[in-house]
Amino acid sequence: MEERRGGSTNPLSSECVMMSAPIKRVETPHEVAHTYSGWLFLFKNCTSNALAKFCGGTHVDATGNIGMMKIMSESSVAAGVRRIEAITGEKVENFWDAVQDTFIDLKSLFNNTPDLKASIRRYIEENDGLKKQIEDFIKERQSVLKQRLLNDIQETSGIKVIKFCGRVSSESVKNIAFQLRGEIIENLFFVAGSIDAGKPVLTVMLSDNLVAKGMNAGKLVKEAAKLIHGGGGGQPHFATAGGKEVDGLVAAVDKVIELAGI
pLDDT at res. 52: 44
pLDDT at 53: 46
The type of residue at 206 is: L
pLDDT of residue 45: 57
For residues 71-90, give the mean pLDDT.
Answer: 85
Taking Cα atoms as reference points, which of 100, 42, 41, 92 lies closest to residue 68? 92
Q: Are 98 and 53 in contact (CB under 8 A)?
A: no
pLDDT of residue 20: 82
Query: Quick one: residue 198, left, alpha or beta (phi over 0 = left, psi -120 to 50 = alpha)?
Result: left
Which has the minimum average pLDDT: 1-10, 35-44, 128-137, 143-152? 1-10
Reported pTM: 0.59
Grouping H, G, I as helix, E, B as strand and the rest as coil, residue 167 is coil
Instruction: Please say if the pLDDT value at position 51 is more than 60.
Output: no
Higher pLDDT, 72 or 52: 72
pLDDT of 38 above 90: no
Determine the average pLDDT of the residues in 12-18: 79
pLDDT tens figures, 146-195: 999 999 999 999 999 999 999 999 999 999 999 999 999 999 999 999 99
- Note the pLDDT of residue 220: 96
Nearest to 66 by CA among 10, 111, 136, 115: 10
pLDDT of residue 10: 72
**Looking at residue 255, what is its pLDDT?**
96
Q: pLDDT tens for residues 222-261?
A: 999 999 999 888 999 999 999 999 999 999 999 999 999 9
Tell me the CATH number for domain 152-259: 3.10.310.40
Instruction: Judge whether 69 and 86 are in contact, CB under 8 Å.
Output: yes
pLDDT of 217 higher than 60? yes
Rounded to the nearest 5°, which phi and psi values hold at 28? -150, 150
Stretch 58-67: mean pLDDT, rounded? 80
Per-residue pLDDT tens digits for 98-150? 999 999 999 999 999 999 999 999 999 999 999 999 999 989 999 999 999 99
